[in-house]
Amino acid sequence: MGGCCYIALAIGTTLSCIMFLQGECLYISCTDGLYISSSERKIPGNISALLGPSGVSLLLGAGYCVCAGSFPEQVSMIAIIIILLLLIALIIGLGIAGSKLTIAVTGVYTVGRIGDDAILGCTFIPDTAQANNIQWVKVGTSGVVYKYENGKSVLTDQNAVFRGRTSLFISQIIAGNASLKLTQVKLSDAGTYKCIISNAKGTGDDTLTFKVGGYTTVTMTRPSNDTLRCTSSDWYPKPNVTWESTSGANMTNAIKTSYPPALFNLTDVTSELSGAQLGLEYTCKIQTDLARALGVSMLTDYGLQTTSRLDVFNSAAPLSTPCRMICVFLLSLLQGSVCH
């Protein structure tokens, strides 16, 4: 429909109002939450979206809505704009009243290996003009894991267990990265962590489960002509060991497995398979609920061929998806409202 200007307003997916002016007719359609003249909502599929403050979306484009009635001929475009601005102010006020900052952790859980460094991921919608305050806590533990406030670290109430082992990526906070780096991971670090953010856009938090264990790759050797040995060190908790072959035969009686103790409550693994045959592929699998190590070997006329692989069961599914909001200035609204 030519010669019209069109504005649609929405808060999240619940409150919305669609208006456009064509000639002397102002077309208005709102959801029940912002009822004006009709609960019917028709948003065209071909529109461009600008995301505004406090979750208020300004959708600018061409479309069709139910006509709410004709305006007198004397009503000018300026008056129409004033009406629209008043309604926008109302919607923004409703959005601010229930403002909650969108926070997202990067996984359902994160796995750390004892003695290594780990990253507990957390992202948020940053406020580039004001301070972004970040706090990490461990559920069930006194004090904080890490606190960043007004542009600096505040560690006076940090739990002694985490002292000297935690840090943020300071230069990336402005981009919305609140991830925590934890060094020299200990078994006692396992648990539920909460990332808490506050800034001028609002406040919010999210949690993740941090699991800690021990795991390493597998080494395959041939101690005798028909014997294969599978070894791996520093496992926690105690893993399960199985063997498979391309023949599909049951090899239970040909397997001997031992678990020599190691330091820090870790366990080494040694497993031997007797009766190995030339040309068959044998797989040794060492597994816990956190990781799996595979060692594959084959006896050939030229010796032993081996490969190995280590899989860590990190979750990649986010608890929530961050929604990036960009403030839209009043001038943008006015420019988008001008009829052509």
CATH code, domain with 207: 2.60.40.10
Q: Which residue has the higher pLDDT, 198 or 70?
A: 198
Is residue 88 located within the same domain as residue 121? no
Alpha helices in 27-76 (DSSP H): none
**Separation CA 31–CA 12 (nearest Å):** 12
* pLDDT at site 4: 42
Q: How confident is the model at residue 281 (pLDDT cuts 50, 70, 90)?
A: very high
Q: How many CA atoms lie within 13 A of 42 on its CB side?
A: 12
- Whether the per-residue pLDDT at 325 is higher than 70: the answer is no
Q: Which residue has the higher pLDDT, 28 or 294?
A: 294
The whole domain housing 223 covers 219-311
Residues above pLDDT 70, as percent of the chain: 61
Give domain status of residue 61, yes or no: yes
Is residue 224 located within the same domain as residue 287? yes
> Per-residue pLDDT averaged across 243-251, rounded?
93
**Separation CA 92–CA 53 (nearest Å):** 7
Is residue 200 located within the same domain as residue 112? yes
Q: Would you say how long the chain is, in residues?
A: 340
> Per-residue pLDDT averaged across 185-214, rounded?
93
Locate tokens 């608890």: which residue? 319
Give domain status of residue 242, yes or no: yes
Top-ranked range on mean pLDDT: pick from 50-54, 125-129, 252-256, 331-335: 252-256
Which residues is 209 bridged to in the sheet? 109, 192
Q: Which two tokens stand for residue 285?
A: 């699998």
Q: What is the mean pLDDT of the chain?
A: 74
- On the question of a cis peptide bond just before residue 53, with omega within 30 degrees of 0, the verdict is no
Q: Which two tokens stand for residue 334?
A: 């006015």
Which residues is 311 bridged to in the sheet? 292
Q: Which two tokens stand for residue 156?
A: 């006076």
Is residue 94 located within the same domain as residue 110? no
Residue type, 132: N
Contacts of 171 (CB under 8 A, 6+ apart): none
Give domain status of residue 321, yes or no: no
**Helix (H) and strand (E) counts in the chain:** 2, 25
SS3 content of the chain, % helix, strand, coil (to 5): 15, 45, 40
Q: How confident is the model at residue 314 (pLDDT cuts 50, 70, 90)?
A: confident
* pLDDT at site 106: 60
Other Cβ atoms within 10 Å of 328 Cβ, number: 18
* pLDDT at site 19: 52
DSSP 3-state assignment of 337? Answer: helix
Exposure string over 288-309, b if 16+ CB within 10 A, otherwise e? bebbbbbbbbbbeeeeeebebe
Give domain status of residue 320, yes or no: no
Query: Which is it for strands 180-182 and 166-168: parallel, antiparallel or unpaired?
Result: antiparallel
Give domain status of residue 227, yes or no: yes
Other Cβ atoms within 10 Å of 253 Cβ, number: 8
Stated pTM of the model: 0.61
* pLDDT at site 121: 93
Is residue 158 located within the same domain as residue 258? no
- Whether the per-residue pLDDT at 56 is higher than 70: the answer is no
Top-ranked range on mean pLDDT: pick from 106-110, 119-123, 234-238: 234-238
- Whether the per-residue pLDDT at 120 is higher than 90: the answer is yes
Is residue 203 located within the same domain as residue 277? no
Is residue 87 located within the same domain as residue 70? yes
Is residue 207 located within the same domain as residue 136? yes
Lowest mean pLDDT among 92-106, 154-168, 187-201, 243-257: 92-106
Q: Which two tokens stand for residue 297?
A: 């070997």
- ∠282-287-288 over CA atoms, to 5°? 175
- Whether the per-residue pLDDT at 31 is higher than 50: the answer is no
> Per-residue pLDDT averaged across 273-302, rounded?
96
Top-ranked range on mean pLDDT: pick from 8-12, 51-55, 115-119: 115-119
What's the number of domains the chain is made of?
3
Give domain status of residue 145, yes or no: yes
> Per-residue pLDDT averaged across 233-258, rounded?
96
pLDDT, tens digit, for every residue of 156-186?
Answer: 999 999 999 999 999 999 999 999 999 999 9
Is residue 95 located within the same domain as residue 118? no
Instruction: Tell which of 158, 193, 213 closes a domain.
Output: 213
> Per-residue pLDDT averaged across 95-114, rounded?
68
Residue type, 327: C
Is residue 148 located within the same domain as residue 207? yes
Residue 332 has phi, psi (to 5 degrees) of -65, -40
Q: How confident is the model at residue 127 (pLDDT cuts 50, 70, 90)?
A: confident
* pLDDT at site 319: 35
- Whether the per-residue pLDDT at 2 is higher than 90: the answer is no
Q: Which two tokens stand for residue 72?
A: 């007198």
Contacts of 93 (CB under 8 A, 6+ apart): none
Is residue 190 located within the same domain as residue 205? yes
- Whether the per-residue pLDDT at 272 is higher than 50: the answer is yes
Give domain status of residue 287, yes or no: yes
pLDDT, tens digit, for every residue of 144-162?
Answer: 999 999 999 999 999 999 9
Q: Which residue has the higher pLDDT, 59 or 291?
A: 291
Give DSSP secondary structure letters for 278-338: BT-EEEEEEE-SSEEEEEEEEEETTEEEEEEEEEE------SS---------HHHHHHHH-
Give domain status of residue 318, yes or no: no
Is residue 82 located within the same domain as residue 177? no
